[in-house]
Amino acid sequence: MSDATRTRTVTWEDPDAGLLKALSMEGIDAVKAMLSGELPAAPMSRLLGIRGVEAEKGRVVVALEPAEYHGNGTGGVHGGLAASLIDSAAWLALHTEMPAGAFCSTLQLNIHYVRPLRIGGGEVFAEGRVLYCGRTTATAEARITDERGKILAHGTTHCTVLRP
């Protein structure tokens, strides 16, 4: 292995281990349990390094620090990272509105890139907010900001609501 080679190890818990517990809880309680570590984080969150910051009904904030392994090969951060952050924050915000046994699944995701996320540029925050949560569909928005509050990207998600 050359000095230029990097290795990153990611560990996660079996996602099914906390699924039944999460589905037995009101959405806001499940999201707070995910953010506190009481319920296991999603494998994708572990892979990307997304961590929960805060949650209240209809609103969630997640964060991460863009790193070399988020790179796009040209020195920047891959655009899929912003998309994943927006999808995660918006989905979690919607889930805070779900009753026990229900969850939502993304049908459409729209992203608007404003400024680049930068490796070594500090932590970024994605705030998701519910716009509409009905019986069968739901819509949320999310925005990514840097540590100074400058907007980097924003987007919306439209989800189907799945109920027992």
Residue 17 has a pLDDT of 83
pLDDT tens, residue by residue, 39-49: 998 999 999 99
pLDDT for 97-151, tens place per residue? 999 999 999 999 999 999 999 999 999 999 999 999 999 999 999 999 999 999 9
Distance between CA atoms of 39 and 50, rounded to whole angstroms?
15
Position 76 in a domain: yes
DSSP per-residue string spanning 8-69: -------HHHHHHHHHTS-HHHHHHHHHHTSSPPPHHHHHHT-EEEEEETTEEEEEE---GG
Q: Considering the domain boundaries, does residue 9 fall inside one?
A: no
Burial status of residue 98 (CB atoms within 10 A of its CB: 0-12, 13-18, 19 or more): buried
User: What are the pLDDT digits (tens) for 37-85?
Assistant: 999 989 999 999 999 999 999 999 999 999 999 999 888 899 999 999 9
Q: What is the pLDDT of residue 16?
A: 87
Question: What percent of the chain is predicted at pLDDT more than 90?
Answer: 84
Residue at 33 is within a domain: yes
Residue 6 placed within a domain:
no
Residue 107 is part of which domain span? 15-162
| C-alpha span between 80 and 86 (Å, rounded) | 10
Q: What is the CATH number of the domain that holds 152?
A: 3.10.129.10
- Average pLDDT value for residue range 2-10: 85
Q: Say yes or no to pLDDT of 3 above 80.
A: no
Residue 2: per-residue pLDDT: 61
Report the domain count for the chain: 1
From residue 105, how far is each of 28, 108, 163 by CA, in Å? 16, 9, 11
In a domain, 135, yes or no: yes
- Written as one letter, the residue type at 76 is G
* pLDDT reported for residue 18: 85
Domain assignment present for 79: yes
The residue assigned the tokens 């919607």 is: 94
Does 10 reside within a domain? no
Per-residue pLDDT band at 164 (split at 50, 70, 90) = confident
**Band of the pLDDT at 152, cuts 50, 70, 90?**
very high
